[in-house]
Amino acid sequence: MLDEAATDTMITQISDSLYTHLIKTYDGNLPSAGLHSLDEIRTQAFERFKSMGFPTVKQEDWKYTNVQPLIGQRYSLDTEMPSGTPALDKALIPKLDAHRIVLVNGRYSSELSTDEEIPGLQIMPIEQAFDRLCFAKYFAAYADKTDNPFVALNTASFTSGLFIEVGKSRQLQKPIHIIHVAATDKPLFTQTRNLYVMGAFAEAEIIESFITEDGAEHNLNNQVSEIVLRENAKLQHYYLQVAGPQSNYLNHTEVHQEKHSLYNNYNCSFPGAAFVRNNINVQMGDSEVESHLYGIALTAGNQLVDNHTIVDHIKPHCESYEWYKNITQDTSTAVFNGKIFVRLDAQKTNAFQQNNNMLIGEKSAIYTKPQLEIFADDVKCSHGCTIGQFDNEALFYLRARGISEAQARVLLVHAFAFDVTSRFLNAAVREYVEHLVEEGL
């Protein structure tokens, strides 16, 4: 079927199958057909991808996160809707009243989504947004400046995704709940591209859940989300990773913020998905911008969850606040890498970062690396990192009051996660996440 002999100096032998498959099938016959400028962006991105190749553990950013076994497998690239309707119950959040958007293998399902007209809100499959002004302005404007090869690949050959635009001064009453379903009966590689644009003074809440259909085949999902917040916009953004072990994710989120905007990201991973790599980059493109990044990864089995974040302070008077917590069980691995840049121009920056880790599994692993690069002199920056285990004294105290060991552990993990979970503005999501913490232990 494929020419296994195809070689490329940039890649190793094992990654040939997905790589050659992508190369062979990349015929430029994209859904963007007709839009010359988009075609050009995509062709250039493909050249970039070819020159970078898939990353290896020799690269600092991928040191603990080996993608080779994943890309060494054969996948179908055909993301046509599977027959039958996938169940969504795994993504349901009790007490949450939201507009529901369902993407199956990245494709928008109008059947499963609450297809309603909301004034000031545009939601559509991304390919329908190609001729929009703000698409032309923001698509590939920031994410593609990074050196993540998966972004280049995604730009070159994404097949589906979601476009959301919240109009100027619109404040959405209800959150948007996006459910990403992996449902396939053959090994599948999907590439989804999302663009969310928050107009000036717009306010919204986007909650994204990742689930896997029961019995689904192995799947690898390369998703890129570009998010733009215009002046004074506010976005609360939740990632709830509750997919099954067959699913693997490469998620890149690129946020660009304009003056006075606020972006809050709450990034939660739970036992399930075998491989999760999140890149969350926030570019504070103007002054008086505020961003909060909260993360909680509770891992089990042989899972790997890797969160790489970049907060880039470019202009003065911005504030960033980041707090990630990892709890590893069994033989799982958690990786946290938090970069903060404070550029020369970014005086009066306030940047805070904290990463706390709780190693429960004796054979689990945690790799954490805070990285601060500060070029301005009048700034307030702090970072801290801790690694610990269960506090046996605390465990005994609770048990001595009649609480079972299992329940005592739940209480202590809740307590550990509390600094993060208590920041969740949406009470329904907070409760749901607390419940998932309990279930995940």
Partner 1 sequence: MLSIKNLHASVEDKAILKGLDLEVKAGEVHAIMGPNGSGKSTLGNVLAGREAYEVTEGEVLLDGSDLLALSPEDRAREGVFLAFQYPIEIPGVSNINFLKTALSEIRAYKGLPPMEARDFLKKVKEKQQLVEFDAKLANRSLNEGFSGGEKKRNEIFQLAMLEPKLAILDETDSGLDIDALRIVARGVNQLRADNNAFILITHYQRLLEYIVPDFVHVLYNGRIVRSGTKELALELEEKGYDWIKETVDA
CB of 419 to partner 1, least distance (A): 8
Which amino acid is present at 312? D
Q: Which of helix, strand or coil describes residue 341?
A: strand
- Residue (of 303, 241, 299, 324) closest to 441 by Cα position: 299
- Residue (of 89, 94, 93, 113) closest to 103 by Cα position: 113
Closest CB to partner 1 among residues 44, 407: 407
Contact between 341 and 303 (Cβ < 8 Å) = no
CB of 422 to partner 1, least distance (A): 9
Closest CB to partner 1 among residues 202, 358: 358
| Contact flag: residue 327 with partner 1 (CB under 8 A) | no
Closest CB to partner 1 among residues 110, 404: 404
Pairwise CA distance, residues 272 & 244, whole Å: 4
Closest CB to partner 1 among residues 243, 412: 412
Contact between 167 and 138 (Cβ < 8 Å) = no
Pairwise CA distance, residues 149 & 250, whole Å: 11
Closest CB to partner 1 among residues 37, 404: 404
Closest CB to partner 1 among residues 144, 434: 434
CB of 417 to partner 1, least distance (A): 8
Residues within window 334-373 making contact with partner 1, judged by CB under 8 A: none
CB of 395 to partner 1, least distance (A): 9
CB of 365 to partner 1, least distance (A): 24
Closest CB to partner 1 among residues 103, 358: 358
CB of 335 to partner 1, least distance (A): 24
CB of 143 to partner 1, least distance (A): 36
Residues within window 379-398 making contact with partner 1, judged by CB under 8 A: 391-394, 396-398
CB of 259 to partner 1, least distance (A): 36
Compute the half-sphere exposure of residue 299: CA atoms within 13 Å on the CB side of its CA: 33
Give the tokens for residue 262: 């606020």
Helix (DSSP H) and strand (DSSP E) numbers for the chain: 8, 19
Contact between 199 and 228 (Cβ < 8 Å) = no
Closest CB to partner 1 among residues 153, 408: 408
CB of 62 to partner 1, least distance (A): 34
Closest CB to partner 1 among residues 375, 397: 397
Pairwise CA distance, residues 172 & 51, whole Å: 42
Instruction: Tell me, by CB under 8 A, how many residues bind partner 1.
Output: 24
Pairwise CA distance, residues 141 & 136, whole Å: 9
CB of 434 to partner 1, least distance (A): 11
- Residue (of 210, 328, 216) closest to 278 by Cα position: 210
Tally Cβ neighbours within 10 Å of residue 174.
Answer: 15
Pairwise CA distance, residues 313 & 53, whole Å: 29
Closest CB to partner 1 among residues 377, 393: 393
Pairwise CA distance, residues 325 & 420, whole Å: 7
Q: What is the DSSP string of 311-338?
A: EEE-SSS-EEEEEEEEEE-TT-EEEEEE
- Binding track, positions 394-423, relative to partner 1; x by CB under 8 A: x-xxxxxxxxxx-xx--xx-xxxxxx----
Please report, for residues 54, 72, 213, 367, the alpha-carbon distance to residue 12 in angstroms, rounded to integers and kept in the order given.
9, 10, 32, 25
Using only C-alpha atoms, the chain has a radius of gyration, in whole angstroms, of: 21
Interface positions with partner 1 (CB under 8 A) = 391-394, 396-405, 407-408, 411-412, 414-419
